Every structure is written in C-alpha cells, then in structure tokens.
Amino acid sequence: YAVNVEKDLQKGISYAKMRIDLYPDDAAARNNLGWYYMNSGRYREALQEYKATVRIFPDMALTYGGICWLYLEKLGMVDSAFYWSEKMISDNPGNVWGYFYLGSSFLGLDSLHNAERSFLKAYDISPELMLNTYRLAHTYRLLGNYDKAIEILKKIYEKSNDETSALYDLGINYTALGKAAEAK
C-alpha cells in the first residue's frame, strides 16, 4: 500500500525491513525490498537483497533477472552479470531471461559467437521476447552476417507493424551490404 498507493518508497522500505525482521526467510519480502531499493537508485542494497532472495529461493527467476539487469544496465559490471546469468540458468534452465542475460553478457565481453548461441537458445524458448530478437539481429550485424540480421528484422516487422525500430535496423543492414535502394 505504501509503495503502490501512497507512492512512498521510503515507507515501503521501512515496512519491508520490519517484515524481514519478523520473517528473515521470507523470499518475497526480500525481493520486494530489493525492488524498492532499485527504484530508489540504491543499487548495491538492491543487489544485497536480491542475492539473499535467491539464496533462500533459487527458483525465483524474476529476482535473478533483477540481479543481471542491475549489473548490466546500472553498474556496467559485465563479468558479474555473466556469473549471475549462468547461475540463473543453472537454477532455472527453462527460463528465457537467463539465456538473454547470458547473451547480453557475452556481447559485453565481445564474444559474439557465444552471444549468438545464447540468444538463439532464448529464441528457441520464447520467440516472442522482442528484446532478445533485436539483440540477436544486432549480434548478426556485428558478426557481419547482414543477411541473417535482415531475415530476423523482417520477421519482427511482419509480426508487428508497430516495431518501426526494425525498419530502421533493416536500413542499417541493407546499407552495410551496399544496397541503397533497399535501405531507403
């Protein structure tokens, strides 16, 4: 209530801490506290709570996603994101996000063929995860495989004409192939 209705993150943090004091093994309370910290810009504290959550309940894939996202997007610690994405896959092998974050980590490490394999695995699990599909297309572009990137981007746009970013990316790939007419 404090967070969602009153929009008071500090009060939500205080209440979550009280709940954790009463029930230290409550994974949901720890996850929520991590979420509140993250939304407050307190990333290190968020990581601490997220890590405590997965120690209690390793099947909580959402929390693993928070850890990987913080390391990649907010802290720029690719090696840590890599470690936690592998751990996420180990504990939740059927979850698409583990492979997505692993692929993103490989991109950050400039290991493009490993990134491709990870994004393809994520695609096999869930072809609807658009962010993964775009990253796969970008990986193909970085590998110089413009035809594959174009194929993927065309599929994105065919699925949804609202995905105008796919058109822009198609233009980039056609330009790289020297096909100015197609790029336009």
The DSSP symbol for 70 reads: I
Measured distance CA(121)–CA(139) in Å, rounded: 14
State the amino acid at position 150 in one-letter form.
I
Measured distance CA(28)–CA(5) in Å, rounded: 19
* Cα separation values, 1 from 6, 13, 15, Å: 7, 12, 10
* Cα separation values, 176 from 4, 114, 143, 149, 171, Å: 47, 23, 12, 11, 9
Residue with tokens 């997007």: 73
Output the tens digit of pLDDT for each of the chain's 184 residues.
877 778 788 888 999 999 999 999 999 999 999 999 999 999 999 999 999 999 999 999 999 999 999 999 999 999 999 999 999 999 999 999 999 999 999 999 999 999 999 999 999 999 999 999 999 999 999 999 999 999 999 999 999 999 999 999 999 999 999 999 999 9
Q: Tokens representing 122?
A: 């994520």
Q: What is the pLDDT of residue 104?
A: 98
Q: What is the pLDDT of residue 84?
A: 98
The pTM (predicted TM-score) of the whole model is: 0.91
* CA 111 and chain centroid, separation: 17
